[in-house]
Amino acid sequence: MRNYQALKAASKVSVKKQKIVDRAALSEVKDGDRVIQHAQAEESHEELQVVKKCYNSDTGEAAADSVRSYSLSEVKREIDRCKSDVSKIQADQAEWEALETDLKAL
């Protein structure tokens, strides 16, 4: 995430684990001895979220926060992509430095 460390230091972004309820728990419903609805447990999962503070650019007033969910695998994939980009850039730099060395030798 671009500028994450600076935004975190300025308290403009935070991370949290949020419980998301997919299906609420249901109690058993009876009509006398007859069960009309069986009890069901709540179904939920947790999301890892980045919450970014937003402001109205015209007035400077706080606006609704921006919330983005991430999975650890998605973050790992982005880290791997950045590392790959760095390797490519370093290879390009080495090529340009070799050309510079040869040109200076003339």
17-32, pLDDT tens digit by residue? 999 999 999 988 888 8
Inter-residue contact 56 to 81 (CB < 8 Å): no
Q: How many CB atoms lie within 10 A of CB 49?
A: 16
44-90, pLDDT tens digit by residue? 999 999 999 999 989 989 999 999 999 999 999 999 999 999 999 99
The structure's pTM equals: 0.67
Closest CA to 66 of 22, 1, 6, 19: 1
- Tokens 């992509």 found at: 81
Distance in angstroms (rounded) separating the CA atoms of residues 42 and 21: 7
Q: Where are the domains of the chain?
A: 1-70, 71-106
Inter-residue contact 26 to 36 (CB < 8 Å): no
Q: How far is CA 95 from the centre of its chain?
A: 35
* HEC profile of 53-71: EEECCCCCCEEEEEEEEEC
